[in-house]
Structure 1
Amino acid sequence: MQPSPWKPWYIVFMLTLFMVLAFADRAVLGFAAVPIMRDLNMSPSEFGLAAGAMYWLYPVAGIAGGFALNRYPAKWVLTVLAVIWALSQLPMLWATTHTEVVMARALLGIGEGPAFAVALHACFKWFEDKDRAMPTSIVSEGAAFGIIFASPVVAYLIAGYGWRTGFAVLAALTLLWVVVWMITGSEGKVQTATPRVAEVKRVPYPKLLLDRTFLGNTIAGFSVACGITIFLAWLPPYLLKGLGYSTTQAGWLTTLPWLTSIVLVLIGSFVSQKLIQKGVSSRLSRGWMLTGALGLGGFSTIAMTQLQPGALQLLLLSIGFGLPTLVWTLSPAIIAEVTPVAQRGGMLAVFATVANTAAGSFAPYFMGILVERGATQAQGYATGFMILGALQLGVALIAWLLINPEATTASFAKTSTAVTPGEAAPAQA
């Protein structure tokens, strides 16, 4: 029986909700930062350490979850991850010490580690390569939707009912998604590779991991993940303590960078997909577009730190965050494009895990130290965001030099094991 033509887009919708909840579960700590630091007597650096604890188990969980896709259906891997997120929120209902918060966030990292890679892999199983940019961008922007929907709601719950209520509500919503997904979710059947790697069965993992295109995308992803983890943990307190906005204003203003991300990523993904469909090389239509967005975003972030609080500063702040997030749509598409189908899930997991772990393990903590050591909190934040912008500018140039999908697939074709005539492609993608 053929699936409904709308089924792929229903799956995109459910995977987007999956990412909405994933990032809402991550971001609730940032929304509750000020009352948590007050009630649990945490310093900024201690809070930064707690925010970064989510990434301590990322490497093990992320890579294990990605390679589990070679053995188990994506539907059930997604289910297990969402259950872990929900359970990880519960200790926050009674936590009274810094250690308890750290342990709860570390548990969240077990479920979050593979989430992005698994969701994209599940999406790729419903769309051919030339049609993937838009559905991939919608799923990846579930992160932005999560912040947009969660920010005003969580701010309202925290102001009216206390910060613990936010964690309880998100746990319940995540479990509700699990129930719906178990009933209605299913596995895609698209198993075809891109034409340049269609005859490639496997490539040795050292060659995959050390490939110039994979390395370029991974360092680009790392610099973007630095921005995302800093914004998740520190944007609400920055708006409150650094720029002087009220709690209600901060709840709404937090959504601006994520709204900007949605608009810019959807536009960028649409243009990239159209260029791919017209035969423009992937290096130009994907690689140059993502590195250009990263560089312009870094420049905007640096410029933002030179302005006084106001509309123009918020605009540059939003562009500085939103443009680089295009990397998290186009980089996975490039990696999926050049990687043999049987190894795709694992390589997407390595990309997301390495980028997120490296960034999340130190970026929130480093920002906390800068806030503590600044002459004022506002100056500490400004220094942190200036360093972030400079990092993204530098990485954009390096990634621009490295990312070359056409050269990568040509190299893989020379050294990999080819599929023999009549041999079926791997059953599990």
Structure 2
Amino acid sequence: MSTTGESLKPWFIVFMLTLFMILAFADRAVLGFAAVPLMRDLNLTPSQFGLAASAMYWVYPIAGIAGGFLVNRWPTKWVLAGLATVWAATQFPMLWATSLNEVVAARVLLGLGEGPAFAVVLHAVFKWFEDDRRAVPTSIVSEGAAFGIVLAAPIVAYFIVAQGWRFGFGLLGTVTAAWVVLWLIFGSEGKVATPSAGAGNLQPVSYRLLLLDRTFIGNTLAGFAVACGITIMLAWLPPYLTRGLGYSTTQTGWLTTLPWIASIVLVLGGGYLSQRLLLAGVTSRYARSGLLCLCLVAGGAATAAMTFLSPGPLQLALLAIGFGLPTLVWTLSPAIIAEVTPVAQRGAMLGLFSTIANSAAGSFAPYLMGLAVERGATPAAGYASGFLLLGVLQAAAAVAAWFLIRPAATIAAFQAEAGKATGRRPVTPTALTPQPARIERTASAGE
């Protein structure tokens, strides 16, 4: 392949993986787009619909953990193809579903394919880019979720009005199957296996140490808070706009895209800023963890403030900012985990991070929002109480994450553990094999 072709190949893979994430979230979000007519046709209460929305996350722990360990042994190309095949297959039963149990069963099966998706995609991206070049491609791929909603919301809303809600599920199943065919033809595996400058040539350490490390816990807590917002938005934003705020179905199709557009702009900008800070020699403590905590606390404050306003442009603006800012966590937290984790265990730890955060949030957050709507004096009041609680949770999680996430301390602890296991003198972050100046400064500067 020519030099130009070689240089463009990683970005072609980023494009294909972004499409993968677009479909992943469109396949999830179609239930929310269809919420109002689906609840009407199947005679579901808000809490029953919330239960169906949460069902996808019941098997997340099993699927996510299995997928994380699977990519330690198998090429990501084949794992990604298998996951997308499961998504496609689970959309078609919705064409004839007539009861809550059938909807729940379809969503549980979807969760089997969705559970490992984000971690596997990140592991695939990291195989094409070195550590200090990962922020931008990771931001692009992670924003496939937002692109999925922006592209799917008006289209699915149109077909729901014109063809009925079942058509939307069939359409997404067909498009997802088409992606699988294209990926099998054009997808390939990256060759980058270089550890981060901070982790050096660190050998694998015990998973007990990895899971109980403060940096992993802090990132997972932040990811959990963001996942609560994402799962609530996927299930409840369309009915919130129609039943809670009084917008029409057509208006909702477009307004649903606002938080996701904000996410695209804010995450791509934040990812670029983080990467520039790292290249300038700023430590990961500030360039990654500090930035993600700032965005999470500001987003939580915006979401909480939104609940005290009447419907209108200012409320919609706060809704968009409150959702968009925290999603930067899903770019920066995986980068921190990859930075401090031995390469041989990276796929598993990314899978565990994504699985724990998503399954803990998704298993109850949509259901609790449904209960809040049912118990509110009005639907609008119920939604307001649910979003207020979400904003407070995210702000509190940001503060806790700031005190927990310490990349340099984590690397030092892992180096010491590796030294004990091999009987060699532990290698400190300041005594690593020489790297380019900008990398060395990032790893060795104090926190």
Range of TM-score over shorter length = over 0.9
Compute the TM-score of the two structures, normalised by the length of structure 1: 0.97
Tell me which residue corresponds to 2:286: 284
Deviations 1:358-404 (A, max 9, x none): 00000000000000000000000000000000000100000000011
Worse overlay, 127-136 or 1-10: 1-10
Distance, in Å, in 1 between the alignment partners of 2:17 and 2:285 is 28
Counterpart among 91, 94, 98 of residue 92 in structure 1: 94
Tell me which residue corresponds to 1:260: 262
Tell me which residue corresponds to 1:146: 148
Alignment of 1:291-302 (within 5 A): 291-302=293-304
Distance, in Å, in 1 between the alignment partners of 2:192 and 2:279 is 18
Alignment of 1:162-241 (within 5 A): 162-241=164-243
Tell me which residue corresponds to 2:349: 347
Structure 1 unaligned spans of 5+ = 421-429
* Contact 1:158/1:166 (8 A) holds in 2: yes
* Contact 1:202/1:418 (8 A) holds in 2: no
Distance, in Å, in 2 between the alignment partners of 1:282 and 1:384 is 34
Q: CA deviation at 1:199?
A: 2.2
Q: CA deviation at 1:67?
A: 0.4
**Runs of 4+ in structure 1 over 3 Å off:** 417-420
Distance, in Å, in 1 between the alignment partners of 2:38 and 2:269 is 37
Counterpart among 35, 40, 43 of residue 42 in structure 2: 40
Structure 2 unaligned spans of 5+ = 425-447
Counterpart among 81, 84, 91 of residue 82 in structure 1: 84
Distance, in Å, in 2 between the alignment partners of 1:200 and 1:43 is 53
Distance, in Å, in 2 between the alignment partners of 1:200 and 1:327 is 25
Compute the TM-score of the two structures, normalised by the length of structure 2: 0.93
* Contact 1:201/1:418 (8 A) holds in 2: no
* Contact 1:336/1:348 (8 A) holds in 2: yes
Distance, in Å, in 2 between the alignment partners of 1:131 and 1:111 is 29
Q: CA deviation at 1:201?
A: 1.2
Distance, in Å, in 1 between the alignment partners of 2:423 and 2:149 is 44
Tell me which residue corresponds to 2:308: 306
Deviations 1:198-240 (A, max 9, x none): 2211011000000000000000000000000000000000000
The root-mean-square deviation of aligned C-alpha atoms, in Å, is 1.1
1:327 paired with 2:329, answer yes
* Contact 1:200/1:419 (8 A) holds in 2: no
Counterpart among 58, 61, 67 of residue 59 in structure 1: 61
Deviations 1:66-91 (A, max 9, x none): 10011100000000000000001011
* Contact 1:49/1:365 (8 A) holds in 2: yes
Q: How many aligned residue pairs are there?
A: 420
Distance, in Å, in 1 between the alignment partners of 2:88 and 2:182 is 15
SS at match of 2:210: helix
Aligned sequence identity (%): 67
Tell me which residue corresponds to 2:365: 363
Tell me which residue corresponds to 1:16: 18
Q: CA deviation at 1:197?
A: 1.4
Counterpart among 248, 251, 262 of residue 250 in structure 2: 248
1:373 paired with 2:375, answer yes
